[in-house]
Structure 1
Amino acid sequence: MADYMLEEKDNFIVIGLGTELTSHYTDFAGLSKEKADFWQVVNEDGRLDTLKDIAANDYIFAVNETVNNKMMHYAGVMADADSAPEGARIIQFPKGQYLVIKGEEKSSDELNNKLSAIAFGEVLTEAENFAYVGGPNTTVETGRKNGLVTGKMWIPVVEK
C-alpha cells in the first residue's frame, strides 16, 4: 500500500472559485482535462490572485466536492468566511481524522492527479480501519522544492 498518514485536524474553511465537472466520474482523462482547463482560466484571468490576497497562508487548495448532486472542483485558499469575494463558495472542512498523502511532481496538475490516484485507487480501496464517506477533499499545494511542486492530499475519513 502507498505511504500515508492519518492526522487529526481542526475544522477549517477554504474560500473557492468553482466549476462543475461534467465528465463521468470514472472518466479520469476527461476530469483531468476539465480541471486543467479550469486552473488555466483562473490563473490567467486573475481570480486566483484575488483569492491569494485574502489567504491566511501560502497554500493553494484544489477542492473536490459534490454539491446538489453535481461534481464540483474549486481553486481556493484558506481564509475567513467574512473575506469571501462575490461568487466564491465557502467550503467547510470538518474537525476530525484525515487521510494525508504527501507528494511532489513537476506541475500542480500532475501532483493533483498523482495524489488522487494514490488516495482513491490504492489507499482507500485497501484500507481496513477507515473509510471516506463523502464531503469535500482537497489537494494542498504547499510549495516548491528543487523545481518540483510539493503538496498533500487531505481526505476526511471515519473509523470502520
Structure 2
Amino acid sequence: MANYILEEKDSFTVLGIGTELKSHYTDYAGINKEKADFWEAVKQDGRLDSLKAIATNDYIFAVNEAVNNKMMHYAGVMTDASIPEGDRLIQFPKGEYLVVKGEARTADELHMTLAGIAFGQALPEANNVAYVGGPNASVEMGQRNGLVFGEMWIPVVRK
C-alpha cells in the first residue's frame, strides 16, 4: 500500500526550463534517461542556478506536462521574476492534490521514486479521486541526514 495524502492547494505558478521527451510514454527507461540527461545539462550549463537565483523558496520542481500533444519535462521554481532562459510559466490549478512524500540519495533518484510510487501505486489505490491531466510535479524540498527529501504533487478531481 502506498503512503499518500490528499491535500488542498492554492493555485501557483512555476517558471520552467523545458525539454521535449521523445521516448514513447511507456518506455520508462528511455524517459528516465532523457530526464537525467536534461537535469545534468541544466546543472552543468548554469540554467538551474539562474532559476534558483530568482526563486521565492528553496523548492526545485521537476514538472511533467503535455503541451500541444508533446510530452514536456521542466526544471522549475516558484517565482514572480523571469529570466531569458525561462521557457514556460506553468500554471497549477487550485484544488485537491494527491501528495506522496519521500527521500532518496540524489535528486534524480527522488524524482524517479516519487513518480513510480505516485503513478504506480498511490493513484491506482486512491479510489475516490482521478488524475485527469494537467501538470504534475516532483518537488525537491531540501536535505536532511544526507538524503534529499520532497513530494510528488498530482492534481486530482473527485470521482
TM-score, with normalisation over the residues of structure 1?
A: 0.97
What residue number does 2:84 align with? Answer: 86
Q: TM-score when scaled to structure 2? A: 0.97
**How far 1:87 moved relative to its partner?**
4.3
The letter of the residue matching 2:103 is E
Q: Distance in 1 between matches of 2:134 and 2:18?
A: 16
Offset of residue 104 of structure 1: 0.2
Over residues 24-81 of structure 1, what are the superposed CA-to-partner deviations in whole Å (9 max), with x where a residue is unaligned?
Answer: 111111000000000000000000111111100001000000000000000000112x
Equivalent residues, number: 158
Residue type matched to 1:85 in 2?
I
Q: Tell me the SS of whatever aligns to 2:62.
A: strand
Matches within 5 A, 1:81-160: 83-88=81-86, 89-160=88-159
Report deviation, 1:126: 2.4
- Kept in 2, the 8 Å contact 1:39–1:75? The answer is yes
SS at the partner of 2:101?
Answer: strand
Q: Superposition RMSD on alpha carbons, in Å?
A: 0.8
Following TM superposition, the consecutive aligned residue runs of length 4 or more in structure 1 with deviations greater than 4 angstroms are none
2:27 paired with 1:27 = yes
Unaligned runs of 5+ in 1: none
SS in 2 for 1:128: coil
* Structure 2: gaps (5+ residues): none
